[in-house]
Amino acid sequence: MTTNLIDQFNRTINYIRISVTDRCDFRCIYCMAEKMTFLPRDEVLTLEEICRLANIFSTMGVTKVRITGGEPLVRKNIDSLFQNLSKNKNIKELTLTTNGSQLIHKAAMLKESGVKRINISLDSLNPTTFKKMTRTGNLNDVMNGINHALDVGFEKIKLNIVLMRDINDSEIFDLTNYAIDHGLDISFIEEMPLGLTDYERKITSISNDEVIKNLNTRFSLEKINYKTGGPAKYWSIQNTQTKIGLISPHSHN
């Protein structure tokens, strides 16, 4: 007998996100400090414990599990977690959030392990801007990873973009066109006060009201009732397969 999870608003919970590591091979300026102090490894759940936790949730009505981080694909032996979770028939949708740097090596394994969706961070198509925003990232690695994920058969890929004023906001149309050209969805996420100071965030922050206003000058958008389990609100782009999502923790929290 399944006992469903119900929150304080009487909503049934069928979707969980599990962070498998706080470590990352990038140091994105909106996410973490350049010299980050990570948790001691003995304070992080083992992969076996994470799998057990997901399996317990699956007996309580959870059918969708998203693996995230940090950068989950840098965790040692992460392949085994996806392979074991895919054996759980109660988990109908296994998904991943990644910076894309390891997809050139991991995409085939993820596909074979039954991962259905991948969300990939891609804040710039310009190598210099990408380096500035990620500090340690290599744009070619991510682009090659996206192409490889498409080559091995992933059909549900979404790009996650954090727009920052006077840093990458001029690329809003280029990034959207890239998503359209490759049959990808794209989400714009308002900057959170994590890596930068609040003062700097006020300078660089862009509301999604401004984002959708700008997008409407170039594309024919229609708001749609599309749900993925997360907080995004979605628009379709006329005559394309691409959906635009807006995640607005500040302007529409």
Query: Is residue 96 included in any domain, yes or no?
Result: yes
- What confidence tens digit (pLDDT) does each residue in 243-252 have? 999 986 655 5
At 199 the pLDDT is 42
Quote the pLDDT of residue 247.
87
CATH code of residue 22: 3.20.20.70
What is the average pLDDT across 166-179? 97
The tens digit of pLDDT for each residue in 75-84 reads 999 999 999 9
Give a yes or no: residue 69 inside a domain. Answer: yes
- pLDDT, tens digit, 9 for 90 and up, residues 15-35: 999 999 999 999 999 888 788
Domain annotation covers residue 205 = no
pLDDT higher than threshold 60 for residue 196: no
Q: How far apart are CA 177 and CA 169, in angstroms?
A: 14
Task: Examine residue 165 and state whether it is found in any structural domain, yes or no.
Answer: no
pLDDT band at 144 (very low <50, low <70, confident <90, very high): very high
Q: Is residue 191 part of a domain?
A: no
Is residue 50 in a domain? yes
Model confidence band, residue 200 (pLDDT cutoffs 50, 70, 90): low
Q: Does the pLDDT at position 197 exceed 50?
A: no
Domain that holds residue 85: 5-155
pTM: 0.91
- The answer, yes or no, to whether the previous bond of 70 is cis (omega within 30 of 0) is yes
Sheet with 64-68, edge to edge strand ranges: 15-19, 64-68, 93-98, 115-121, 157-161, 185-189, 243-247, 233-237, 221-224
Tally of domains in the chain: 1
DSSP 226: -
Residue 113 domain-assigned (yes or no): yes
Inside any domain, residue 177: no
Helices (H), the chain: 47-58, 78-85, 103-112, 127-134, 139-151, 172-181, 198-204, 208-216
d(CA 75, CA 228): 26
Task: Report the SS3 class of residue 97.
Answer: strand
